């Protein structure tokens, strides 16, 4: 695997027989890029293999492995490392787990958008609740009770990540109206959900 800052002419013989821990110690003193390059050569196969194991996709694993080594220099300056190999394994594993959590969150958010706003406009579909959780159905039903203007502004603000100005331009509302619709929509939805909880 290529690495942009790894020039092929680096003389790696100077590091033969030098332990990982000694390399880390030398880097703390000298900040020589060649030391990072040597650690890269020693452990890129381990990190890449670990990323494949967790991410299940070669291109994503390559990108993650590169990110891990690109951030390595900064981490070596922050932490006292006694066993580099096991430390690097932990760093790589945690990076993969964080990426998986991020992807899971993005997928869940996208699914919630589809369920949430694809159904509030269609009253008939609200009754097709067998495949949805009770919580999702509750929110969908309560959103349907908001005014169309409030639903539109809430959708654009929180699910399309648009600014107040963007919403005003798209809807024709004034900035004051946009802010009012969002504020009132959030308050009304919160009240509707609180009323339902009070009945349980």
Task: Note down pLDDT in tens along the chain; length 200 residues.
Answer: 444 434 343 455 677 788 898 898 888 888 888 899 899 999 999 999 999 999 888 888 999 999 999 999 888 888 788 899 999 999 999 999 998 888 776 666 555 554 555 444 444 444 444 444 555 566 666 777 888 898 888 878 877 778 889 899 999 999 999 999 988 888 887 787 776 655 55
Dihedral sign computed on CA atoms, order 64, 29, 26, 28: negative
- The dihedral through the CA atoms of 57, 97, 81, 77 has a sign that is positive
Record the tokens describing residue 92, joined without a space.
Answer: 């790589």
This prediction has a pTM of: 0.50
Q: Are domains 12-105 and 120-199 of this chain identical in fold?
A: no
Q: At 18, is the secondary structure helix, strand, or coil?
A: coil
* Cα gap 52→34, rounded to integer Å: 26
Query: Residue 116 has what pLDDT?
Result: 54
CATH of 12-105, one of 1.10.287.1770, 2.40.170.20, 3.40.50.2300, 1.10.1740.10: 1.10.1740.10
- Looking at residue 142, its pLDDT comes to 72
CATH match of 120-199 with 1.10.10.10:
yes
| pLDDT at res. 16 | 78
Q: Where are the domains of the chain?
A: 12-105, 120-199
């Amino acid at each position: 695997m290529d690495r942009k800052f790894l020039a092929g002419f680096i003389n790696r013989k100077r590091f033969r027989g030098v332990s990982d821990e000694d390399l880390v110690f030398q880097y703390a003193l000298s900040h020589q890029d060649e030391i990072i390059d040597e650690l890269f050569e020693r452990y890129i196969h381990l990190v890449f293999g670990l990323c494949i194991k967790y991410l299940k996709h070669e291109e994503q694993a390559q990108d993650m492995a590169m990110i891990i080594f690109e951030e390595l220099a900064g981490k070596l300056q922050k932490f006292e490392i006694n066993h580099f190999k096991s430390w690097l394994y932990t760093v790589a594993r945690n990076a993969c787990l964080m990426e998986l959590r991020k992807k899971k969150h993005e997928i869940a958010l996208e699914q919630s958008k589809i369920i949430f706003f694809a159904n509030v406009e269609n009253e008939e579909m609200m009754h097709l609740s067998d495949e949805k959780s009770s919580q999702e159905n509750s929110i969908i039903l309560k959103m349907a009770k908001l005014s169309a203007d409030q639903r539109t502004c809430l959708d654009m603000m929180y699910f399309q990540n648009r600014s107040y100005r963007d919403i005003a331009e798209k809807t024709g509302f004034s900035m004051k109206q946009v802010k009012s619709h969002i504020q009132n929509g959030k308050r009304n939805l919160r009240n509707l959900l609180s009323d339902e909880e009070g009945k349980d």
